[in-house]
Chain A
Amino acid sequence: MHDEPDDTELEEELRRVAALLDPVPSVLLQAAVEAFTWRTVDEDLAELVLDSLVDHEAALVRGSQDRRLLCFHTSDVCIEIAVTSTGTSRALVGQLIPPQPASVEIRHRTGLVTLESDTLGRFSASSLRAGPISLRCRPGPQAAGRAVVTDWVSI
């Protein structure tokens, strides 16, 4: 039988056991290291300001059980997307506000999907795999405006 250890020793022992029995999976450590390569420098960051999943009022007014609404904005532009789920497949429709054409990159863990919005800033994509995504939009005619990236969010 062990002597009764003091709190620090017991906590250290727990730490060793946790590191052995519930370590950070190595694929995730690798993903955390690689996250740095997605970093952008010159883009404006559009922060997530509304998610119908957690903002109850927004969900009541604008969301539905099947559709998740997300809204990101900078001081100049707002990007709204609605996400629908089928198993692990995700489809989204998006809209830039104020309405304006834009080229849009959907950044996700397996790479990039590049698309062009219509003249009113609407765009859509389907068959995306569930997981973290971020949008990079270059608004304006000929995508001449300042590029914007959204916060990463898991869909």
Chain B
Amino acid sequence: MRSQRADGEDVAVDPVEIGGLTRAAAGGDAAAWLGLVECFSGLVWSVTRRYRLAAADAADVFQTTWLRLAEHIGRIENPEYVGAWLATTARRESLRAARAATRILPTDDAAILDRNHIDDHSPELAVLDAEQAVLDSDRAARLWCAFHQLSRRCQELLSVLMASPPPNYLDVAAALDMPVGSIGPTRARCLQRLREKLMSQDVVWHSPGNE
């Protein structure tokens, strides 16, 4: 079983180190907790995004997941795999939120509108904001657009795989409730599809101000 990605220099999730952080946080070490947040907030966020929840619901799931961990941290059986624990918790809480969303009618409550604001950055604006950045914004926009044209299954897998820092396959398996062994082949297929979408110039992108 793979517990660590073998494919890059950006591998940040080392089970032994994670086990140490988890034990230290369980003992009250706030710096270790911060380390866990840095390692896994990207993963937890990617799981909540997978369920396409409203922004306020995604925020609640994200917070609930971390609050749960704060209460459970001294009781986790395998501290090395706290990432898988977080991914599983986030997945279950996302399902719960998705279920609740079908029951509770949206309202025009100002608090909801206000909370939705955190999600209020369009790809267009973000790309413009990033013009100073090293990233090639046009290429980024086309890639993002192509990504959203992939099948739901591919988007789900890739969105978890592309969390920052990169999650290990065990955590990805927990996030998606899929066998570890099928991640590699599905990833290869999905990346191939993405490449095809990029190549076929049917990705329509109007960059404001550039035309």
Contacts of A11 in B (CB 8 A): 158, 161-162, 187, 191
Complex Cα gap A109–B74 (Å): 22
**Which residues of chain A are within 8 angstroms of B80 by Cβ–Cβ distance?**
none
Q: Please determine whether A15 and B164 come into contact, CB atoms closer than 8 angstroms.
A: yes
Q: A10-B191, A17-B140, A17-B144 are in contact. Are A88 and B63 (CB under 8 A)?
A: no
B152 proximal to A (CB < 8 A): no
Residues of chain B within 8 A (CB-CB) of A132 are: 60, 63-64, 67
> A29's contact among B37, B61, B100, by CB below 8 Å, is which?
B37
CB distance from A4 to the nearest CB of B (A): 7
Q: 11 A–B contact pairs at CB < 8 A? A: A7-B187, A15-B10, A15-B166, A21-B121, A24-B41, A31-B66, A38-B70, A38-B71, A45-B71, A132-B64, A154-B64
Q: Which residue of B lies closest to A132 (CB)?
A: B64
Question: Contact mask B38-75 → A, CB, 8 Å, 1/0?
Answer: 00011011100100000011011111101111111111
A152's contact among B68, B126, B143, B191, by CB below 8 Å, is which? B68
B97–chain A nearest beta-carbon distance, Å: 6
Residues of B within 8 A of A60 (CB): none
Q: How many residues of A contact B (CB 8 A)?
A: 52
Binary interface encoding of chain A residues 79-94 relative to chain B, with 1 for a CB under 8 A from any of its CBs, else 0: 0000001011000000
Give complex CA distance A86, B11 in Å.
45
| Stretch of B13-21, B105-113, B173-181, B202-210 with 4 or more beta carbons under 8 angstroms from chain A | B105-113
Closest 4 CB pairs of A and B: A152-B67, A35-B66, A32-B66, A87-B107
A20 to B68, CA, bound (A): 28
The answer to whether A88 and B107 touch (CB under 8 A), given A10-B191, A19-B164, A29-B37, is yes
- In the bound assembly, the distance between CA atoms of A51 and B103 in angstroms comes to 14
Write the residues of chain B forming the contact surface with A, with a CB cutoff of 8 angstroms: 7-8, 10, 25, 28, 30, 33-34, 37, 41-42, 44-46, 49, 56-57, 59-64, 66-75, 93, 95-97, 99-100, 103-104, 107, 109, 111-112, 118-119, 121, 123, 126-127, 130, 133, 135, 139-140, 143-144, 147, 158-159, 161-164, 166, 187-188, 191, 194-195
Contacts of A51 in B (CB 8 A): 96
| Chain B hits for A27, CB < 8 A | 59, 118
Is B191 a contact partner of A33 (Cβ separation < 8 A)? no
**Contact call B37/A18, Cβ cutoff below 8 A:** no
Q: Which residues of B contact A154 (CB under 8 A)?
A: 57, 60-61, 63-64, 93, 96-97, 100
| Cβ distance B203 to chain A, nearest Cβ, rounded Å | 13
A62 within 8 A of B: no
Interface centre among A13, A134, A152 (most CB of B within 10 A): A152
Q: Verify A21–B71 contact, CB threshold 8 A.
A: no
**Additional 6 contacts, C-beta under 8 A, given A14-B162, A35-B67, A154-B64:** A28-B118, A31-B63, A39-B28, A45-B75, A54-B99, A153-B96
